[in-house]
Amino acid sequence: MEQIVFKNLHRADTRGTADFGWLHSRHTFSFGSYFDPQRMNFGLLRVLNDDIVEGGAGFGTHPHNNMEIISVPLSGALEHKDTEGNVGVIRTGDVQIMSAGSGIAHSEYNHSQSDLENFLQIWVMPKDMNIQPRYEQKSVPAEERRNRFQTVVSPDRESGGVWINQDAYFSLGNVDAGGELEYRLQRPEHGLYLFVIEGAVEVGGETLGKRDAIGLAGPESFSVKATQNAELLAIEVPMN
């Protein structure tokens, strides 16, 4: 394996925090009132927020433009409504994308009045600017990622995942303890950002636990070994 030439290690307890009572959020990269000039992005990956929303609460209508916004529910369900007329509920096992393009406003609320809802909100900088705003969601069956990576976001409309306006690829993987996966980049100039949703793995010479993350660039493939049963999110993005 080639030498790793770039590595960002982000431990879970070093993330920024925001607590509004109804929303409890951890920010991997600078966002809102959390600012760290050393943690602005990983390549074209700009935001990775780990949000917990109280029952019956949520984000009121607010605008976005020229950003690819991906939501991955980890528990519970999230209601979505936007100014393009899209209305829906995304549940655990779904992946949602909104290409904000030339401008869109949307709201997101916990679908339950009592249970907590936990989801990852991820922003990737777009490839083409000012496109027509668009929305898409799909179910991504967990059995298709048992001890393998399952593509859930891709610029290839035939991949089975949701389409993104960027040369970026998101994959989910569930790995049994002692198992090992290889992630091979789609393009050698890309980087890989690996986020541990649950469990523990070894990758890039580091041991990562729950909600730890690492950004790697250099080799065209990376070996990920699970030291505990692990649930992973792999985000491949252009580095510039």
Q: Which of 120, 135, 150 is the last residue of a domain?
A: 135
Residue 65 counted as domain residue: yes
Q: Which pLDDT score is estimated for 2?
A: 59
Q: Of 77, 68, 59, 66, nearest to 18 (Cα)?
A: 59
Q: Do 95 and 112 lie in a common domain?
A: yes
Report the CATH number that the domain containing residue 175 is assigned in CATH.
Answer: 2.60.120.10
Residue ending a domain, among 135, 160, 185, is 135
Q: Give the pTM.
A: 0.96
Strands of 113-220 (E only): list them: 117-124, 134-139, 149-154, 162-163, 169-175, 180-184, 190-198, 201-203, 206-208, 213-217
In a domain, 9, yes or no: no
Residues of the domain holding 121: 16-135
Q: Which of 158, 181, 171 lies closest to 227, judged by CA?
A: 181
Q: Are residues 179 and 117 in the same domain?
A: no
pLDDT digits (tens, 9 = 90+) for 121-166: 999 999 999 999 999 999 999 999 999 999 999 999 887 799 999 9
116 lies in the same domain as 157: no
Q: Report the pLDDT value the prediction gives residue 157, as an integer from 0 to 100.
A: 81
Three-state DSSP at 143 gives helix
- Going by pLDDT thresholds of 50, 70 and 90, the confidence category of residue 6 is confident
Find tokens 């690829």 and name the residue.
Answer: 169
Does 85 share its domain with 170? no
Q: Report how far residue 174's alpha carbon sits from residue 136's, in angstroms, rounded to the nearest whole number.
A: 24
| pLDDT band at 61; cut points 50, 70, 90 | very high
Q: Are 131 and 181 within one domain? A: no
In a domain, 126, yes or no: yes
Which is nearest to 148 in space by CA: 224, 66, 43?
224
The torsion angle over the Cα atoms of residues 174, 72, 39 and 156, rounded to 10 degrees, is 80
* Over residues 182-195, mean pLDDT: 96
- DSSP reduced 3-state for 145: helix
What digits encode the pLDDT tens for the residues 65-122?
Answer: 999 999 999 999 999 999 999 999 999 999 999 999 999 999 999 999 999 999 999 9
Instruction: Give the H or E element holding residue 227.
Output: none
